[in-house]
C-alpha cells in the first residue's frame, strides 16, 4: 500500500545488494530523483516506484539488474531516452514508464524477433514525448497489453482507430493531416461541425433509463485500450494491468441492494489499474455541468476484513485536478452507497476529457490482491446553455418590420425601372391619352407628343 512518507528517496545505505524485492514504493509523497545508488541492487526481481515529486532526472542506471521481472517507474519525472539494455533483460515481463518525460524512439531491443511482436507481456509508455515511428511489431501485437497513447510519433501513416495497441492521441501535431482523428492531439470531431450537447453513460453496465434520459451501455471488458462507443458520442482510454490478479476484468457488478436512490446505475462500475479517461466527443462549445456517480462495490462495510479497504484516486476535468485523493467510502459514509459529485467544465474545441488517476495511494491487497485504482459508476454531462434557443416576441416583430421595408424597397425599384408598367400610365396622363392635338412632330423612334 502507499504510505505517506516525506523526504528524499534514499536507496543504498543500509540495504544489502542481495535484496530481491523493492516493491510498492508508490504513493509515498517522496521526492525524486531516483538515486544512482539504486544500481547496487543487482538481484532485484521487482522494482516498483511511482509518483515522485521533485526535479527531473535522467533514466537511472539499471544495467546490472538482469533479474528484473517487473519494472515500474511511473510518474517519476524521468527524462531522456529509454536505454536499449532494458530490452536485453531476459525475464522482464512488465514495463511501466508512463507519465514521465521520455524522448526518442522505442528501442529495437524490445522486439521478439522470432514472433514479430514485443518481448514484454505488458508495456505502458503512455504520456511521454516519444518520437519517430511506431514499429509494426507493436502495432499488430494482439497478444500483449501495450499502451503508447499521448506521445509524439510521426510514422507510419495509419488510417484506422482499431488497433490492439492503445494509440489514442499518440501522434505529433505535425502529422495530423495523415492520420485519423483518434490519433491526433485533442481528439477533434470526426465528422466536421460538433452537434452534441449532452452525454449519459452507465459505466461498466448495460443501457438503462435514468431520470428521463437513457444511459448508454459501457460493458467492454478489455484492458489497456481505446474504445469508441457505437453512438460516436464518447470514448474511453484505459491504462495498466492489476498486479497480483490473474484476470484483468475492468468492469464489476453487484447484485446486492444498495442504499441509494436510482440504485441501478450504482450496481455496475468501470475500473482501471492506473489511468482511466472518458471523452465526450463532438460537443458544442460552451459551459457544461459534469456529474460523476460513484459507489464502492468492491469493499464491504459489514465484513471486518473487507471494510479495511481504502481506495484513493485523483479526478481531473479538462486537464485540471478537481479532487485529490478522492475516497468514495469516506465521501459516502459507507461501502455500497451511491453518491455523485458535480463539476463545471468548459469545452473550447469539441472534446471533454474526464481523467481518473491512481497515484499509488490506498490499499492494493485488501480485501483481495489487485483491488485498487479508479472506479466510476456513471457519467452525466449537461449544457449550462440553451441548446435550442427560440426567438423572442421582439425578435419576431423586428424580422417582420425588416421584411416589410425590404419588400417596399423592391417594389419601388421595380416601378422606377418600368417593370411594373408605371411609366406608360404616366405618359398617357401627360398627353391626354396621346391626343393627336398634342402631336408636335416625328422623331427617330415615332411620333413626339407635347406633355401637359
* Contact of 29 with 53, CB cutoff 8 Å: yes
Q: Which residues, in sequence order, are CB contacts of 26 under 8 Å at separation 6+?
A: 2, 48, 49, 50, 51, 359, 360, 361
Residue 255 has pLDDT above 50, yes or no: yes
Quick one: pLDDT band at residue 91, thresholds 50, 70, 90? very high
Q: Which pLDDT belongs to residue 225?
A: 86
- CA–CA dist 358, 15 (Å, integer): 29
Q: Please list the residues that pair with 94 across neighbouring strands.
A: 70, 122
Grid cell for residue 395: 425578435
Of 171-180, 377-386, 435-444, the poorest mean pLDDT is in 435-444
Q: Which residue has the higher pLDDT, 436 or 147?
A: 147
Quick one: pLDDT band at residue 439, thresholds 50, 70, 90? low
Mean pLDDT value of segment 406-410: 76
- Indicate the SS3 state at residue 37: helix
Q: What's this model's pTM, rounded to 2 decimal places?
A: 0.84
pLDDT in tens, 258-270: 877 888 999 999 9
pLDDT in tens, 301-312: 665 555 677 899
Of 209-223, 224-238, 391-405, which one has max mean pLDDT? 224-238
* Contact of 151 with 124, CB cutoff 8 Å: no
DSSP 161-217: S--SSB-TT-B-GGGGGGS-GGGSTT---TTSS--B--EEEEETS--EEETTEEEEE
Mean pLDDT value of segment 50-57: 93
Q: Which pLDDT belongs to residue 252?
A: 92
Sign of the Cα pseudo-torsion (325, 331, 334, 335, in order): negative
- CA–CA dist 423, 440 (Å, integer): 21
Q: Which pLDDT belongs to residue 362?
A: 87
Percentage of residues in the chain having pLDDT higher than 90: 62
Average predicted confidence (pLDDT) for the chain:
86
Q: Which pLDDT belongs to residue 381?
A: 98
Q: Please list the residues that pair with 17 across neighbouring strands.
A: none
- CA–CA dist 418, 416 (Å, integer): 5
Residue 441 has pLDDT above 70, yes or no: no
Of 62-76, 122-136, 281-295, 391-405, the poorest mean pLDDT is in 391-405
Grid cell for residue 422: 408605371
Sign of the Cα pseudo-torsion (390, 395, 396, 400, in order): negative
Of 162-176, 248-262, 299-313, the poorest mean pLDDT is in 299-313
Residue 427 has pLDDT above 60, yes or no: no
Amino acid at each position: 500500500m502507499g504510505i505517506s512518507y516525506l523526504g528524499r528517496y534514499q536507496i543504498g545505505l543500509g540495504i544489502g545488494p542481495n535484496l530481491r524485492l523493492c516493491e510498492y514504493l508508490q504513493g509515498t509523497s517522496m521526492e525524486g530523483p531516483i538515486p544512482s545508488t539504486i544500481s547496487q541492487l543487482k538481484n532485484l526481481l521487482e522494482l516498483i516506484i511511482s509518483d515522485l515529486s521533485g526535479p527531473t532526472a535522467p533514466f537511472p542506471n539499471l544495467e546490472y539488474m538482469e533479474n528484473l521481472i517487473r519494472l515500474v517507474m511511473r510518474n517519476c519525472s524521468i527524462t531522456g531516452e529509454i536505454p536499449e539494455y532494458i530490452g536485453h533483460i531476459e525475464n522482464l515481463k512488465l514495463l511501466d514508464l508512463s507519465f514521465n518525460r521520455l524522448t526518442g524512439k522505442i528501442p529495437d531491443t524490445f522486439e521478439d524477433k522470432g514472433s514479430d511482436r514485443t518481448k514484454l507481456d505488458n508495456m505502458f509508455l503512455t504520456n511521454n514525448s516519444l518520437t519517430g515511428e511506431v514499429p509494426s511489431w507493436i502495432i499488430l501485437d494482439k497478444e500483449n497489453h501495450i499502451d503508447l497513447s499521448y506521445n509524439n510519433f510521426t510514422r507510419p501513416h495509419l488510417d484506422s482507430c482499431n488497433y490492439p495497441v492503445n494509440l489514442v492521441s499518440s501522434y505529433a501535431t505535425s502529422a495530423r493531416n495523415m492520420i485519423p482523428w483518434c490519433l491526433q492531439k485533442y481528439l477533434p470531431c470526426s465528422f466536421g461541425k460538433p452537434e452534441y450537447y449532452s452525454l449519459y453513460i452507465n459505466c461498466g453496465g448495460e443501457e438503462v433509463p435514468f431520470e428521463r434520459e437513457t444511459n448508454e451501455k459501457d460493458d467492454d471488458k478489455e484492458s489497456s485500450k481505446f474504445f469508441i462507443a457505437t453512438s460516436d458520442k464518447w470514448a474511453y482510454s484505459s491504462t495498466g494491468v492489476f498486479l497480483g490478479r490473474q484476470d484483468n476484468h475492468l468492469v464489476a457488478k453487484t447484485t446486492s441492494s444498495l442504499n441509494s436512490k436510482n440504485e441501478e446505475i450504482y450496481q455496475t462500475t468501470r475500473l482501471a489499474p492506473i489511468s482511466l479517461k472518458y471523452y465526450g466527443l463532438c460537443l458544442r462549445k460552451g459551459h457544461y455541468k459534469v456529474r460523476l456517480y460513484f459507489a464502492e462495490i468492491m469493499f464491504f462495510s459489514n465484513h471486518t476484513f473487507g471494510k479495511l479497504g481504502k481506495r484513493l484516486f485523483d479526478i481531473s476535468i479538462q486537464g485540471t485536478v478537481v479532487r485529490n485523493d478522492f475516497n468514495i467510502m469516506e465521501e459516502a459514509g459507507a461501502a455500497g452507497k451511491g453518491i455523485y459529485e458535480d463539476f463545471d467544465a468548459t469545452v473550447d474545441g469539441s472534446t471533454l476529457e474526464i481523467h481518473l488517476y491512481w497515484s499509488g495511494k490506498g490499499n492494493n491487497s485488501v480485501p483481495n490482491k489487485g483491488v485498487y485504482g479508479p472506479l466510476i459508476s456513471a457519467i452525466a454531462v449537461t449544457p449550462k446553455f440553451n441548446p435550442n434557443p427560440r426567438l423572442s416576441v421582439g425578435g419576431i416583430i423586428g424580422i417582420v418590420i425588416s421584411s416589410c421595408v425590404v419588400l417596399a424597397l423592391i417594389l419601388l425599384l421595380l416601378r422606377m425601372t418600368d417593370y411594373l408598367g408605371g411609366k406608360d400610365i404616366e405618359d398617357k396622363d401627360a398627353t391626354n391619352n396621346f391626343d393627336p392635338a398634342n402631336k408636335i412632330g416625328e422623331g427617330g423612334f415615332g411620333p413626339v407628343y407635347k406633355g401637359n
